[in-house]
């Protein structure tokens, strides 16, 4: 599969139906991490909706400090957000991104896409997208948030990803049997992100989580949660408005897990 990586920024912006998201786009062939570049720009006053997109990342990362492999052919980008929120209120922004990605991939490509708590998007039981939110705050007040999204687009998972990831990851190209236009995907995703983000700011987390859970196939099923050295197995009962996952243990008791604390996999 020949990789499509080039993005025509001018053409993308001409057809972009957003008010803020993607009106300023920085495209670089290679960066250590688009999140790091976006955080630096935000610290110097970049406007809301500023996007950093790269052909490849050399030091991409996921949640809990895990390495995120970002070869040419994927869509790796970060966006600057300036919500007027307190820190606890901003936690559900990871679900805004997950919902936007899920709906975009379903609408554009007709794929059966699912959300996985808190920050992954799956096709079948294999990861196609990861999300990383990083926050800068003063006390309880959010200064800015950088939302990083990585989508395996036109990459050959078996060839370019490490062996330990080849059975748990997939790509759009492999699922569809053809290359996709990264430019088209980014445009559609920015439009959906702005819609979902604005709805979240207007209506709060309840409506957002209610819709996100419609795509969360893991709910109601047995999952295993790793928290530090401990492991817990139980039924994923619910995700509450503050982003907390509720697990029903085998003895009938309930345990709540905070975003950022744990690693989850469906049993």
CATH number, domain of 58, equals 3.30.930.10
Same domain, residue pair 130 and 227: no
Same domain, residue pair 172 and 241: no
Q: How far apart are the first and last CA of the chain?
A: 33
CA 41 to chain centre: 20
Element (H, E) at 232: strand 230-239
Q: What is the pLDDT of residue 2?
A: 39
Of the pLDDT bands very low, low, confident and very high (cuts 50, 70, 90), residue 66 is low
Same domain, residue pair 111 and 144: yes
Domain count, the chain: 2
* Residue 45 confidence (pLDDT) above 60: yes
Question: Which burial class, exposed, middle or buried, applies to 143 when counting CB atoms under 10 A from its CB (0-12, 13-18, 19+)?
Answer: exposed
Of the pLDDT bands very low, low, confident and very high (cuts 50, 70, 90), residue 161 is confident
* Residue 262 confidence (pLDDT) above 70: no
Q: 103 is written with which tokens?
A: 């709906």
Nearest to 145, CA basis, from 206, 85, 65: 85
The percentage of the chain sitting over the pLDDT mark of 90, rounded to a whole number, equals 66
User: Domain span at residue 241?
Assistant: 222-266
The larger pLDDT score, comparing residue 72 to residue 190, is at 190
Question: β-strand 263-266 against 254-257: which pairing, if any?
Answer: unpaired
Same domain, residue pair 37 and 148: yes
Same domain, residue pair 40 and 75: yes
Mean pLDDT over 127-154 rounds to: 95
pLDDT tens per residue, range 167-217: 889 999 999 999 999 999 999 999 999 999 999 999 999 999 999 999 998
Please report where in the chains the tokens 């007027």 appear, as a residue: 84
Identify the bridge partners of residue 265 per DSSP, sorted by sequence position.
224
Nearest to 150, CA basis, from 167, 175, 133: 133
Same domain, residue pair 147 and 26: yes
CB 66 within 8 A of CB 130: no
Same domain, residue pair 229 and 185: no
Mean pLDDT over 222-239 rounds to: 87
Q: Return d(Cα 263, Cα 64) in angstroms, integer.
A: 9
pTM to 2 decimal places: 0.91
């Amino acid at each position: 599969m020949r990789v499509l990586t080039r993005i025509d920024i001018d053409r993308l912006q001409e057809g972009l139906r957003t008010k803020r998201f993607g009106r300023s786009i920085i495209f670089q062939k290679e960066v250590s991490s688009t999140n790091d570049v976006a955080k630096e720009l935000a610290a110097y006053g970049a406007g809301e909706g500023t996007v950093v997109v790269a052909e490849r990342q050399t030091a991409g990362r996921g949640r809990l400090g895990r390495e995120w492999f970002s070869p040419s052919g994927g869509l790796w980008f970060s966006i600057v957000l300036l919500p007027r929120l307190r820190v606890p209120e901003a936690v559900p922004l990871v679900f805004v991104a997950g919902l936007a990605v899920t709906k975009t991939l379903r609408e554009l490509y007709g794929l059966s896409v699912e959300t996985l708590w808190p920050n992954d998007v799956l096709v079948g039981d294999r990861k196609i997208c990861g999300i990383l939110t990083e926050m800068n705050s003063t006390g309880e007040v959010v200064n800015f948030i950088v939302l990083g999204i990585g989508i395996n687009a036109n990459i050959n998972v078996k060839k370019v990803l490490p062996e330990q990831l080849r059975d748990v990851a997939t790509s759009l190209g492999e699922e569809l049997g053809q290359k996709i236009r990264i430019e088209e995907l980014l445009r559609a995703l920015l439009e959906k992100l702005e819609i979902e983000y604005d709805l979240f700011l207007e209506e709060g987390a309840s409506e957002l989580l209610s819709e996100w859970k419609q795509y969360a196939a893991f709910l109601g099923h047995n999952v295993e949660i790793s928290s530090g050295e401990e492991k817990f197995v139980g039924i994923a009962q619910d995700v509450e408005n503050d982003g907390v996952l509720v697990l029903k243990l085998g003895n009938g008791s309930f345990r709540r897990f905070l975003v950022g604390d744990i690693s989850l996999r469906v049993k």
